[in-house]
Amino acid sequence: MKFKDYYQIMGVSRDASQDEIRRAYRKLARKYHPDVSKEPDAEQRFKELGEAYEVLKDPEKRAAYDQLGRDYQAGQDFRPPPDWGEQGFQFHGAEFTGADASEFSDFFESLFGGGFGRPGGFARGGRRAGGPHFRARGEDAHARILIDLDDAFHGANRTLTLNTTEIGDDGRPRRRERTLNVHIPKGVHQGQHIRLAGQGNPGIGGGPPGDLFLEVAFRPHPLYRVEGRDVFLDLPVAPWEAALGAHVQVPTPTGKVALHIPAGSLGGHKLRLKGRGIPGHPPGDLYAVLRIALPPADTEAARKAYRDMQQALDFNPRARLGV
């Protein structure tokens, strides 16, 4: 994936004001609109322009992009930093151009995907004041948080730092950190939203503030992976355990349990531990995925054991391939 320089696409400097960015977009949109443009690459340029404007017009997305872009040039190989999902960027409502996010690049998706342009994603559109006594509820805000899998099993109280954005006197967005105490309920699952009432955008004319919705995602775990409420564990087993059957101890997020491995089990076979997944009504399950672990042939005795097994079993693992 290549890094996209949205400022270069828009033809503006990195310290351009929001008004300058808006004017540049209107000018270039007229120039490259496929219905009127004579340029051979008008359609592609118009798509790139729409994607760049979707980021730079939004102070919050722009602040996040600026933080990342300090270390990259246009066309440079790019991969989001490992901690990008833990930056805690908060997105409020913003002017919406009607652009179709599905047509945007993988670069955009890697930074702002998973919420743009769909219900429950980044808020958009707001109410405008209609008079001196107009009161309106503030816009809702959205942010993505990473939690530990253990928090979903037991619940937790966490102090989170979110990066929000405000427009300075110079017309440029600037970051501001806010700290929140958040209760993570037991049984929360990936993609679920935690609602913090009154923590969104301030109201207009003394109206009530909006709400803040925190979309939950799990940090990578060294043992487990999660799908919905189900939890998966790769369980190493010795060849004789898979062939002859065995009883083994298996770690789970709530403690070790005994598991029976049936004789004749194959690598990749899933054994279900009912109700051992993320708590809920009903709870998820835990699946132990068998992985055959071969002992190393690093001693003469071990190599002899393998040779004896080869002669005793006369086994061809590629027989079904006809070779």
| pLDDT tens per residue, range 247-301 | 999 999 999 999 999 999 999 999 999 999 999 999 999 999 999 999 999 999 9
Domain boundary among 218, 252, 268: 218
In a domain, 65, yes or no: yes
pLDDT value at 79 more than 50: yes
Report how far Cα 259 is from the mean position of its chain's Cα atoms. Answer: 33
Mean per-residue pLDDT of the chain: 83
| Three-state secondary-structure class, residue 247 | strand
Residue type, 51: E
- Determine the Cα angle at 197 with ends 193 and 202, to 5°: 115
Question: Once rounded to an integer, what is the mean pLDDT over residues 303-323?
Answer: 89
Question: Quick one: 105 and 214 in the same domain?
Answer: yes
Question: Quick one: 77 and 28 in the same domain?
Answer: yes
What are the percentages of helix, strand and coil residues in the chain, rounded to 5? 25, 25, 45
d(CA 60, CA 167): 9
Question: Once rounded to an integer, what is the mean pLDDT over residues 151-176?
Answer: 79
pLDDT value at 29 more than 60: yes
Report the percent of the chain where pLDDT is more than 70: 83
Highest mean pLDDT among 15-24, 87-96, 223-232: 223-232
Question: Quick one: 46 and 15 in the same domain?
Answer: yes
Domain boundary among 199, 218, 237: 218
Question: Quick one: 189 and 317 in the same domain?
Answer: no
Domain boundary among 168, 197, 218: 218
Question: At 261, which CATH number?
Answer: 2.60.260.20
Question: Quick one: 150 and 231 in the same domain?
Answer: no
Helix (H) or strand (E) holding 261: strand 257-261
- Domain tally for the chain? 2
Question: Quick one: 169 and 240 in the same domain?
Answer: no
- pLDDT for position 123: 31
Question: At 104, which CATH number?
Answer: 1.10.287.110
In a domain, 54, yes or no: yes
Predicted model pTM: 0.61
Q: Which domain holds residue 238?
A: 224-321
Question: Quick one: 182 and 144 in the same domain?
Answer: yes
pLDDT, tens digit, 9 for 90 and up, residues 171-202: 666 777 788 889 999 999 988 999 998 888 77
